[in-house]
Chains A and B, each alone.
Chain A
Amino acid sequence: MILPPEAPPAIELRGIDKRFGAVHACRTVDLRVEAGTIHGIVGENGAGKSTLMAIMHGFYQADAGEILVRGQPAAIRGSRDAIRLGIDMVHQHFMLVERLTVLENVLLGAEGGARLAPGAARARAELARLGDAYGLRVDPQARIEDLSVGAQQRVEILKALHRGAQILILDEPTGVLTPQEADDLFRVLRALRTQGCTVLLITHKLREIMAVTDRVSVMRAGQMVAHRDTAATSAAELGELMIGRRLLPPPPRSAPQPGPALLEARGLVVRDAAGVERVRGIDLALRGGEVLGIIGLAGNGQGELLETLAGMRAPDAGEIRLRGRAVFPGRDFNAAALRRLGLGHVPEDRLRSGLLSRASAADTAILGYQGDPAYRGRLGLLSPGRIAGHGARLMRGHDVRPPDPTLRAGLLSGGNQQKLILAREIERDPSVLLVGQPTRGVDIGGIDAIHRRLLACRAAGKAVLVVSVELDEILALADRILVMFDGRVVGELPAAEATEGRLGLLMAGIGPERASAAPVPA
């Protein structure tokens, strides 16, 4: 499949460098992508893959370095330049205007004249042709907001092809897809390659890389660390290259000593703002002294479940008991009330909900507990001195660096932000600790520290719930694993029986409906 070496590469990057403030997202990156191949870029979250692709597509400008397209130096100052050079991108968060139709979205930027009608007629014909050629069928008159995620992705690809893309970049395209949809996508990508298109596939899923790519490049901490022919490498080697060292054995774990059920939920149903059921009847029981892991592909209801258990949103049906007390249905069901009853919560998206990026670290360290008399001074007013003292103590005790409580929380690194939030929640000595994506965007050193903290909580008899999309993380932490798919628990495995293969099938929604999905009786 690989063209003779004398043909210029479809795209070549030399010394691309990009900073965002203090973050060095890309460090003098070199990359060579041969024409007519499917080239994978792998790396952990935050390794700089998406930034690099956005630079190729002109969404960001590189601070230094050059880009060659088909051997010619190219100045890509905006998406318009990239599109003219035949480079197009399917973003992780689709760039589709939801209230417009498929046809209008396809036309946008490639209207073919001041009046829409002639271009629309041509595009309609083109869509029909592409639909037949690649199996990318969508109704051109449908509104984007009415389409499934998979169909929306097809629109993105159609949009790129309609604009004559020769080089197609896909950023984490399977994160929101079912396995069947993902397989369909890969079929499309292979068909594109046959037609001479070059495909860049960004992912952190090694299985996909092994399944579909010709060559693969590995990014780590903003640098390009290795290039391999897919046929000549293995998932294990790529995994090590991504992480930069052999995977450490998970921290040692004592045998679980489950205590009484501290958090129980029965028949939980949660609908989103649009009325779609995101959680469809979930029962679970979380015991003291155990770590319960919940795994699933992103967007299968885990986020909504976690927010509901934490009191951030009320379920539409069901019951919740915290330490034996019925809290839902109940008048006083909210995050503050559950905190007072001994529930700690580290949210999935710390920047969006867990901290005040513009306030000081000390102010962030009392978030949710601002009513505690311990932070008050004379006349019952908040005491800045006590708040700063508490912040400093927390930061020292949990190795948050730099340990400066006056620093703006937004200026801490991702790992240190996470440590600060974890410190805040653990220091309140909660009976139940809910943790969403404990190590998302956290560097390797931080991951280990955070995992040890969570296991220490388990050893102290707390009930710990971990929601993660990272299989490794769940396998390293959980005593019991619930697999979520499409808003339901589709499987429950004790840690000893859980293997990557079994979990993977369940996450994909394949596999027997297990009777053991019901909670273990307390």
Chain B
Amino acid sequence: MEVLDAALPVLAATLRLATPLLLAALAGLVSERAGIVDVGLEGKMLVGAFAAAAVAAVTGQAVPGLLAGIGAACLLGLVHAYASIALNGSQVVSGMAINIIASGLTATLALIWFRQGGQTPPLPPGARFLSVVLPGTEALAGVPVLGRVYATLLGGQTALAYLAFALVPVSAYVLGRTRFGLRLRACGEHPAAADTAGVSVARLRCAAVLIASVLCGIAGASIATAQGAGFQRDMVSGRGFIALAAMILGGWRPWPTLLACLGFGLLDAAAIRLQGVAVPGIGQFPVQALQALPYGLTVVLLAGFVGRTVPPRASGVPYVKER
């Protein structure tokens, strides 16, 4: 029982913290499998978070906020698509620019509109995505172990969390078993082959960038209106890059990416739990080490010291018909 007492909150927090990571990592995955590198996940999540919180604060409802978050992320996604697909510009530069624009834009608008030092007003419960109580929770409450697991781990998450986890099999299916997925993979590996097979590379990559934007918008909304209760400056705080790391660790495949996100969520949950805990010999537990672990792991993995990941062959390369 004691183990369960200690583990359950951490595991529940893991799922909660993994949700936005997972959504963003799947966004990056869809985009990069189509051949468009997306280092702008962070920025798109940030505008998503801001728009979601702002609209939720004004309307008092969570769903319009979510839609606004998706819409805002898509606007930035269109900029990325225009730069990297229509103009064959540098995808990395475009992504970095989007991050910086998002940071400046959200802070500016938040200050102008809400005048609360760059935040939105705190959201009332009605304007947020709240924990869902699964049917049968009460009936199972008396069952030892299972009852509590059902109530706080399987249940007790927000609708956006369930959506995020459901998207893993969905994206695996779409990528592997559908026409759209086949064309997407072809565009990311060898766009000229897709083109000569009658597939419009530009249209497909555009669709991929927009799907990624929608996912980033949801991820942002989940940070501001599900995990949190309002927008704060730069509140995404690097999660876009952690998501990128999870995607790389997952080898650009949905199921392994889920594992990586859960792992990073667990690290984050553990870091929160261990904050301020004294460790004999070193004093306070160095939570920074836990927080830095995902980045370090990504470097190690990319360098091929453990295993090897191979990115989609044409990712980051503009498709130009050339002689």
> Is there an interface contact between B192 and A95, defined as CB atoms closer than 8 Å?
yes
Tell whether A98 is near chain B: CB-to-CB under 8 Å.
Answer: yes
Nearest-Cβ distance from residue B155 to partner chain A, whole angstroms:
33
CB within 8 Å for A109 and B198 given contacts A20-B323, A96-B193:
yes
Instruction: Give A97 to B178 CA distance when docked, in angstroms.
Output: 17
User: Which residue of A89, A97, A115 is within 8 Å of B186 (Cβ)?
Assistant: A97
Instruction: Give A97 to B313 CA distance when docked, in angstroms.
Output: 10
Tell whether B199 is near chain A: CB-to-CB under 8 Å.
Answer: yes
| Closest residue on chain A to residue B185 by CB atoms | A100
> Is there an interface contact between B179 and A115, defined as CB atoms closer than 8 Å?
yes
Name the A residues within 8 Å of B178 (CB-CB): 114-116
Instruction: Give A136 to B198 CA distance when docked, in angstroms.
Output: 23
> Is there an interface contact between B194 and A109, defined as CB atoms closer than 8 Å?
yes
> Is there an interface contact between A83 and B195, defined as CB atoms closer than 8 Å?
no
Interface residues in B282-323 by Cβ distance below 8 A to A read 313, 321, 323
Name the B residues within 8 Å of A107 (CB-CB): 182
User: Which residue of A51, A79, A116 is within 8 Å of B196 (Cβ)?
Assistant: A79
Interface residues in B165-189 by Cβ distance below 8 A to A read 177-183, 185-186, 189
CB within 8 Å for A60 and B321 given contacts A99-B189, A116-B178, A116-B182:
yes
Tell whether A113 is near chain B: CB-to-CB under 8 Å.
Answer: yes
> Is there an interface contact between A79 and B197, defined as CB atoms closer than 8 Å?
yes
Tell whether B200 is near chain A: CB-to-CB under 8 Å.
Answer: yes
User: Which residue of B179, B189, B194, B197 is within 8 Å of A116 (Cβ)?
Assistant: B179
CB within 8 Å for A113 and B313 given contacts A95-B192, A96-B193, A99-B189:
no
Nearest-Cβ distance from residue B195 to partner chain A, whole angstroms:
6
Total contacts A-B at CB 8 Å: 81
Name the A residues within 8 Å of B313 (CB-CB): 98-99
Tell whether A281 is near chain B: CB-to-CB under 8 Å.
Answer: no
CB within 8 Å for A96 and B196 given contacts A114-B180, A115-B177, A115-B179:
no
Name the A residues within 8 Å of B182 (CB-CB): 100, 104, 107-108, 111, 116
Name the A residues within 8 Å of B197 (CB-CB): 79, 83, 95, 108-110, 159
Instruction: Give A113 to B189 CA distance when docked, in angstroms.
Output: 22
CB within 8 Å for A59 and B195 given contacts A97-B190, A100-B189, A114-B178:
yes
> Is there an interface contact between B321 and A59, defined as CB atoms closer than 8 Å?
yes
Interface residues in A486-508 by Cβ distance below 8 A to B read none
Instruction: Give A59 to B196 CA distance when docked, in angstroms.
Output: 7
> Is there an interface contact between B190 and A109, defined as CB atoms closer than 8 Å?
no
Nearest-Cβ distance from residue B203 to partner chain A, whole angstroms:
11
> Is there an interface contact between A95 and B179, defined as CB atoms closer than 8 Å?
no
Would you give the 0/1 interface string for A102-124, flagging 1 where the beta carbon is closer than 8 Å to chain B? 00110111110111110100000
> Is there an interface contact between A100 and B186, defined as CB atoms closer than 8 Å?
yes
User: Which residue of B177, B194, B200 is within 8 Å of A108 (Cβ)?
Assistant: B194
Name the B residues within 8 Å of A96 (CB-CB): 190, 193
**Which of B180, B181, B198, B200 is packed against the most chain A CB atoms within 10 Å?**
B198
**Which of B177, B186, B190, B196 is packed against the most chain A CB atoms within 10 Å?**
B196
Question: Can you list 20 A-B pairs, Cβ within 8 angstroms, ordered by A?
Answer: A20-B323, A59-B196, A79-B198, A83-B198, A84-B198, A91-B196, A96-B193, A99-B313, A100-B186, A105-B193, A108-B193, A108-B197, A109-B199, A110-B198, A113-B179, A114-B178, A114-B179, A116-B178, A116-B182, A117-B177
Residues in A lying within 8 Å of B, measured CB to CB? 20, 23, 25, 51, 57, 59-60, 78-80, 82-84, 89, 91, 95-100, 104-105, 107-111, 113-117, 119, 159
Q: Which 4 residue pairs across A and B have the least CB separation, nearest first?
A: A109-B197, A80-B198, A111-B179, A95-B193
